[in-house]
Amino acid sequence: MSYKNGKELLPERLLKEIQRYIQGELIYIPKEENVRKAWGTGTGTRDYMTKRNNEIYTKYKDGADIDYLMATYNLCEDSIIKIVKNKGKEIKTMP
């Protein structure tokens, strides 16, 4: 996110209207809802997590134990169990 000067960016009438509410302070103007990206899509994090979770589930189904998965992926026991349970549900519910 970068700083923009309203004086250079906004029409004078709009700038005057905004100055009625706030002056000399920073204000965040969010994107419209239909323009916002889903979490992790812009950085690749979502794809990374999906791939990682698929690997964890596959290794678990192939016989890897929870302790091995915890050490390999540096995750706590609860996280590994949650991933395995959620991935199992996804696969079972797919037609």
Q: Residue 67 has what pLDDT?
A: 94
User: Would you call 32 exposed, middle or buried from its count of C-beta atoms within 10 A (0-12, 13-18, 19+)?
Assistant: exposed
Sign of the dihedral defined by the CA atoms of residues 10, 12, 18, 24, in that order: positive
Answer yes or no: is pLDDT of 92 > 80: no
Answer yes or no: is pLDDT of 1 > 70: no
- The single-letter DSSP state of residue 14 is H
C-alpha 82/C-alpha 66 separation (Å) is 11
C-alpha 72/C-alpha 62 separation (Å) is 15
Residue 31 C-beta-side C-alpha neighbours within 13 Å = 7
Region 25-29: mean pLDDT is 86
Quick one: pLDDT band at residue 93, thresholds 50, 70, 90? Answer: very low
Q: Considering the entire predicted model, what is its pTM? A: 0.56
